[in-house]
Amino acid sequence: MSKTPKGAGAKAKLKAYFLENVGKVVDSEELRIIAGSSEWARRVRELRGEEGMNIATHNDLSDLRPGQYMLVNLKPLPAFERGISKEVRAFVLDRNGFTCQMCGAVAGEPHPYDPGRKTRLHIGHILDKSMGGKDEPSNLRAICSVCNEGASNTTLVRPDAMKLLTQIRRSATADQLQILEWIVKKFKVQAKRILEED
């Protein structure tokens, strides 16, 4: 077990554990237990991105499987400061309808892929900072904890309007009505203005 001061936060516990296990493969379950938090993956990303710890995943080393991590060595990588303000975070969450842009899970509701867990949203980069992505609203999206845990350094193409309309047209009438209700609720002010103009 890692030697951290009593009352230390999840990030400090994870950092100490990685430092005690340099060059050894550790898995996600170990890290979750050490952190004592469901947010362990986010803390690992912070250690990589903000503190420059050379923590590899299966995306970095072919010897690692998904869910495995390794602090390769103590040589620091370039670190990135957090640059997303509360205002930008609020703007992105609102713009994305408080919905994960990868799986569609809604903040506060049970997660569709992990029903025992409520959906928590974070702000994620479309083009990762390690690849030159910026902390600008155009490069940010709402992403849930479940997707965020597996999304390191990946980029997804968002469906265009035609693809979305095709999917909606193929769905059942009850689903189409549910989509309509969501759109009207999200764009209530704009919908009212359009109806008044007609």
Q: Where are the alpha helices (DSSP H) in the chain?
A: 10-20, 28-35, 40-49, 86-95, 145-149, 161-170, 173-186, 188-197
> Does 194 or 170 have the greater pLDDT score?
170
Q: How confident is the model at residue 80 (pLDDT cuts 50, 70, 90)?
A: low
| φ, ψ (nearest 5 deg) of residue 9 | -75, 170
Q: Is the pLDDT of residue 79 over 60?
A: no
Cα dihedral across residues 126, 129, 132, 133: positive or negative = positive
What is the mean pLDDT of the segment spanning 164-173?
Answer: 87
Tell me how far apart the alpha carbons of residues 117 and 87 are, in angstroms, rounded to a whole number. 27
CB 48 within 8 A of CB 55: yes
Comparing 104 with 81, the larger pLDDT belongs to: 104
- The pLDDT tens digits for 24-63 are 999 989 998 998 877 888 888 888 877 788 888 876 777 8
pLDDT of residue 156 exceeding 60: no
Q: Which two tokens stand for residue 115?
A: 């029903």
DSSP lists the bridge partners of residue 124 as 141
User: Which residue would you say has higher pLDDT here, 120 or 88?
Assistant: 88
Q: According to the model, what pLDDT value does residue 26 have?
A: 93
Higher pLDDT pick, 29 / 192: 29
> Which pLDDT value is given to residue 17?
93
Return the higher-pLDDT residue of 65 and 77: 65
- Pairing of β 110-111 and β 55-56: unpaired
Q: What is the average pLDDT across 157-176?
A: 82
How much is the pLDDT for 2?
47
Residues 89-148 pLDDT 10s:
899 999 999 999 988 888 888 888 777 778 888 888 888 776 778 889 999 999 887 777
Residue 90 is encoded by which pair of tokens? 């609020």
Residue in 36, 27, 28 with CA at minimum distance from that of residue 4: 36
Q: pLDDT at position 148, please?
A: 73
Average pLDDT, integer, range 80-84? 64
Specify the pLDDT at position 16: 93
pLDDT at 82: 59
pLDDT value of position 25: 94
The conformation of residue 77, written as its DSSP 8-state character, comes to P
Residue 69, SS3 per DSSP: strand
Residues near 151 by Cβ (< 8 Å), separated by ≥ 6? 102, 124, 143
pLDDT score recorded for residue 155: 46
Q: Which two tokens stand for residue 127?
A: 């083009």
68 exposed, middle or buried (CB, 10 Å; 0-12, 13-18, 19+)? middle
Among residues 98, 94, 97, 103, the alpha carbon closest in space to that of 147 is found at 103
